[in-house]
Structure formats: C-alpha cells, structure tokens
C-alpha cells in the first residue's frame, strides 16, 4: 500500500495534490466534474474583508504555453463567503484551505478573525504576492522584515496552520521565506505568477486592460521549480510548490526538489480533473519505483 499522506503544521493532507487559488473558484463550480474526495485539498479563491469587483476587462489573455490574467482579486467578501460558499465546502471530503487577501495587515487580521469562528476550514493561505492589485499585494512578500512582522501578527490570532504565498519577483525568495518562518508560518507556497505583458499590434494597446498581468502556465515551471529548490536548500520550512504543473511528472519534479505538497493552477482551466489524475499518476510512480511513503521523495533530488 502506498501512503500518500503528507503534513503541513498540524494539517495532515490525504495526498500532496491541491488545487490552486483562483483556478477552482469556491469548489461548487467544478461539482459534477471532479471527485473532490480524491484531492488532497482545495485552496479557495481569495477572500477579502469586503467584496471586490476586480479589474476591468479584458483581464484574461491566452499566450503561448500559458495565460495572462489580471483579475484583481475579484471576490464576494468574507461575510458572503461564510454565508454562501463555506456550507458547500464544508460538505466535501477534503481539506479546505482559505486563501486570504488584504490591502493592509489590519484587513488580513479582520478576515481571519471572522473565519476563526467557522468550522470546516483546515488552514489559511495568505496572499502576500498578488501582482494585480494596487494596494498591498506584492509589498508583503518583497521585504523579509515586513513578511515576518505581518505573519507574526496573523499567527497570534490564527488557530489553524498558516501558509504564506510568495512572489517569484524578488532577488532571493529564500530570504522572504526565512522571514515567513521567523514570523511563525507553518509553510510557504510558491510561486505566485510572474509579471507578463502582451500587446495587440493592430490597436497597439495592451491585451490586458491593466497592462502588465500575472503570467502562469507550463512555461513558468522551470522558474517555479528553481525557486522551490532555492527555498528547500536554504530554509527549513514545508513548501507547497506551484507553477506550470499539468500532470504527475510535473508534480513529482516539485516534490523531489523539496516541496511537501503541490498546487495545480492554470491546468484546471483545461481540465478540472487534472488534480485527481495527478494523484493517480503519483501513486502509480511510487508503486513502480517501490516507494511506500510519498514523504520519502520530498527533497530527494540527487547531485551529479
């Protein structure tokens, strides 16, 4: 029997495959398309203190080997999330990780204070790294001391594991991860999207209303993998790897590089069942290679 369970703080996941925030909605959108019980967990669309309309369209554009998006953290707000979205999520036989967004440290705290009173939540993922909002956003994960301070403040009130989501758009992401660790984070997730840009040559306008946007998809995988390996080599903290994962081979690369778990993002737009297929593929790989515990693969990359 293959044991695929893995642990982040005191959260035990049934397997290491999660679906990433912003690519799976609040779960309900994929009902009937995915057997949720086969996933390690669902990371919800970002939840902020108040509802957000997000950025004006056009805000999604397909590019070679990926996509640009500048949604701007459009979401229903924490009160509506609790009333309308959380009941369905509670009914699912998988871990629920709520992605929390805020423009200020106070907003993060206020959202989590409201969520702390609710059942059915397994952990929080702090969106410290969205490139598509004017306030907050990247700032929280571009300076290690600020990452440390805000994480520490949130950890004082959070009874559940806290995962800090980091941007790749820094010189040394391991320094930011160290700040998260010193602030008490249970794990870091990386990477959030790269910054990208595309132009319509006929109108000479950007393809995205806001100009620059988040770039995700298969093309970012080597960058994401390098960032995961950097953090795993320098910081003793669990890592959730994200970036261009479209199947079991991709996920296994992240795990071997040092990720405790992975998130599937853009691939969900192509096939919402990519996550469950990835779980099956990882299990098959372990069976073929006589690996009984998935944790034995974490950080097992070999040097020449």
> With contact defined as beta carbons under 8 Å apart, do 62 and 40 qualify?
no
Task: Judge whether 43 and 297 are in contact, CB under 8 Å.
Answer: no
Are 245 and 265 within 8 A, CB to CB? yes
The distance from CA 117 to its chain's CA centroid, rounded to whole angstroms, is 23
Buried b (16+ CB within 10 A) or exposed e, 145-181: ebbbbbbebbbeebebbbbbbbbbbbeebbbbbbbbb
Query: What is the SS3 assignment for 54?
Result: coil
| Helix (H) or strand (E) run with residue 278 in it | helix 274-288
Catalytic residue among 11, 20, 49, 130: 130
**CA-to-CA distance for 147 and 289, rounded, in angstroms?**
39
Q: CA 163, CA 99: separation in Å to the nearest integer?
A: 9
Q: What token pair was written down for 247?
A: 């199947």
In angstroms, rounded to a whole number, what is the distance separating the alpha carbons of residues 277 and 99? 24
- How many CB atoms are located within 10 Å of the residue 8 CB? 26
Report the distance separating Cα 61 and Cα 83, nearest Å: 32
**Among 34, 30, 127, 32, residue whose Cα is nearest residue 75:** 127
DSSP conformation class of 49 = S
Q: Catalytic residue at 286?
A: no
> Which sequence positions are flagged as catalytic?
130
């Amino acid at each position: 029997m293959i044991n695929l369970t893995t642990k982040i703080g005191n959260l035990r996941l049934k397997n290491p495959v999660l679906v990433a925030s912003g690519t799976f909605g609040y779960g309900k959108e994929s009902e009937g398309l995915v057997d949720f019980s086969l996933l390690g967990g669902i990371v919800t669309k970002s939840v902020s203190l108040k509802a957000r309309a997000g950025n004006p369209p056009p805000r999604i554009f397909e590019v070679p080997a990926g996509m640009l998006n500048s949604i701007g953290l459009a979401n229903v707000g924490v009160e509506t999330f609790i009333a309308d979205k959380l009941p369905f999520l509670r009914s699912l036989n998988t871990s629920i990780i709520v992605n929390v967004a805020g423009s200020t440290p106070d907003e993060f705290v206020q959202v989590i204070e409201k969520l702390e009173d609710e059942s059915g939540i397994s952990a929080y993922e702090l969106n410290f790294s969205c490139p598509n909002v004017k306030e907050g956003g990247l700032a929280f994960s571009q300076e290690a001391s600020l990452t440390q301070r805000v994480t520490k403040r949130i950890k004082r009130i959070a009874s559940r594991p806290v995962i800090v989501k980091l941007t790749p758009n820094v010189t040394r992401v391991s320094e930011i991860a160290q700040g998260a660790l010193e602030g008490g984070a249970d794990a870091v997730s990386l990477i959030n999207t790269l910054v990208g840009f595309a132009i319509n040559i006929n109108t000479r306008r950007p393809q995205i209303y806001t100009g620059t946007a988040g770039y995700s998809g298969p093309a970012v995988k080597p960058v994401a993998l390098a960032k995961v390996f950097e953090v795993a080599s320098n910081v003793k903290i669990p890592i959730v790897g994200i970036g261009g994962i479209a199947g079991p081979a991709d996920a296994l690369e992240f795990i071997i590089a040092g990720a405790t778990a992975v998130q599937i993002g853009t691939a969900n737009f192509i096939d919402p069942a990519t996550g469950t297929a990835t779980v099956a593929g990882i299990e098959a790989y372990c069976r073929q290679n006589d690996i009984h515990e998935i944790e034995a693969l974490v950080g097992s990359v070999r040097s020449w």
